[in-house]
Chain A
Amino acid sequence: MATYSLANERLRALEDIEREIGAILQNAGSRYDDERGTVILELSKEKTNERLLDRQAAAFTASVQHVEAELSAQIRYLTQVATGQPHEGSSYSSRKDCQMALKRVDYARLKLSEVARTCEQMLEN
C-alpha cells in the first residue's frame, strides 16, 4: 500500500543497503552489473589489466563507504527520535467502528435477502 510512505521509506532504504552489502560480498569489488569479473579474479590472471583492477577496487571501496555512510545516517536519525518509551498509539477505536459498520451492512443484507425470499414465495403461491 503506497500510503505508508514515511514509514516505509526508511525501511526501503535499509533493504537497499542489505542488497548492496550482498552485492559487495558476491562480487568482491566489482559492480553488480559488471560482467568483467571480480577484483580477486582479475588478480589471479596471468596478465592483469591494471586500469580495470584500479577501477574495480575503487568501486568496491566506494560501495563500502556508501554503506557505512547510510548506516551512520540511520543510526544518527534513531539517536534523535528514539525516546526509550513504548508507543501507545492505536487505531483500535477506528477499526472497531469500521467493524460495526460492516456488521450493519451484513445485517441489512440479511434482512433484504429474507424480504426477497418472501416476495418470491408470494409470487409462486
Chain B
Amino acid sequence: MAQQRALPQSKETLLQSYNKRLKDDVKSIMDNFTEIIKTAKIEDETQVSRATQGEQDNYEMHVRAANIVRAGESLMKLVSDLKQFLILNDFPSVNEAIDQRRQQLRALREECDRKLVALRDEVSIDLYELEEEYYSSSSSLCEANDLPLCEAYWRLDPDTDSADCPSAPLLASPEPSAGGPLQAAAPAHSHTSGPGPTEHT
C-alpha cells in the first residue's frame, strides 16, 4: 500500500473526522439495536410492578429507536459530505471528465468545419455555373456602361436601393475563361462584392 502522503492539515483533519463520524454512527446503530432486542425480553421478577416496567421499557425502546434514526441521518449527511469531497478532490475523475469533454467539443468542432468545407465546395460549383450563365446572357451584353455586378442586378428591381451592394448570389471572382464582352470589367466586380469580408476565410 502506498505510504501516507503529507496532506494539508485541514484535509487530513477532515478525513479523520469523516472516519470518526462513520465509526460513531455505526456503533450507535448496532448498540441501540442490540439493546432494543435485549429490552424485549420479558423477565418474571422485576423490582417494580409489571406495568411500570412495561412503561419504562416502552420509553427506552422509543429513545433507542430515535437514536437509531438519528445515527442513520448522520450517516446520510456523511455520505453527502463524501460526495462533495469526491467531486472537488478526486483529481483522476476530474481529469478524465475534462478530457472527455474536450474530445466531445473537438469532435463537434471538426464536424462543423468539415461540413462547412463541403458546403463551400458545392456552392462554388453552383456559383461557377451561375456566373457562366450571367456573363453569357443577354442582360450582361445590353449594358452600355461598365456597371458593377451588384448594380446591374439591382437595376432589374427599381424599388431597391441601388447604391448598396447586398449579398448578391453572383459575387465572386469571375473565371478568366468565361466569355463575354465585359470580360475587362469583371476584375473590378470581384472587389465590390458584398458584405462578407470574412466569408472566404
Contacts and interface: CB of A to CB of B under 8 A. Distances in A.
Given A10-B93, A84-B7, A91-B101, A79 B15 contact: yes
B94 A89 contact: yes
Interface in B92-129: 92-98, 100-102, 104-106, 108-109, 112-113, 115-116, 119, 123
B109 A11 contact: no
Given A18-B79, A71-B79, A6 B96 contact: yes
Interface in A58-111: 60-61, 64, 67-68, 71-72, 74-75, 77-84, 86-87, 89-91, 94-95, 97-98, 100-102, 104-105, 108, 111
A18 B23 CA distance: 16
A7 to B, nearest CB: 4
A87 B83 CA distance: 16
Given A21-B76, A82-B15, A111 B7 contact: no
Nearest to B61: A40
A90 B94 CA distance: 10
Interface string B155-192: 01100000000111100000000000000000000000
A97 B105 contact: yes
Interface string B118-147: 010001000000000000000000000000
Given A94-B102, A115-B167, A118-B168, A108 B33 contact: no
Nearest to B196: A111
B76 A43 contact: no
Interface in B45-97: 65, 68-69, 72, 75-76, 78-79, 82-83, 85-97
A125 interface: yes
Nearest to B83: A14
Contacts of B156: 122, 125
B101 A102 contact: no
Contacts of B72: 21-22, 24-25
Contact of B116 (A18, A108, A122): A108
B201 to A, nearest CB: 9
B94 A87 contact: yes
A52 interface: no
B18 A118 contact: no
A75 B116 contact: no
Given A25-B69, A89-B98, A97-B105, A68 B26 contact: yes
A75 B22 contact: yes
Contacts of A104: 112-113, 116
Given A7-B90, A91-B105, A98-B105, 19 more contacts: A6-B96, A14-B79, A43-B40, A44-B40, A64-B26, A68-B22, A78-B15, A78-B86, A79-B15, A80-B5, A81-B89, A81-B92, A87-B88, A87-B89, A97-B109, A100-B109, A108-B116, A108-B119, A122-B156
17 contacts: A11-B83, A22-B76, A28-B33, A43-B37, A64-B30, A68-B26, A72-B22, A77-B90, A78-B86, A78-B89, A81-B91, A84-B89, A94-B105, A94-B106, A101-B112, A104-B113, A118-B168
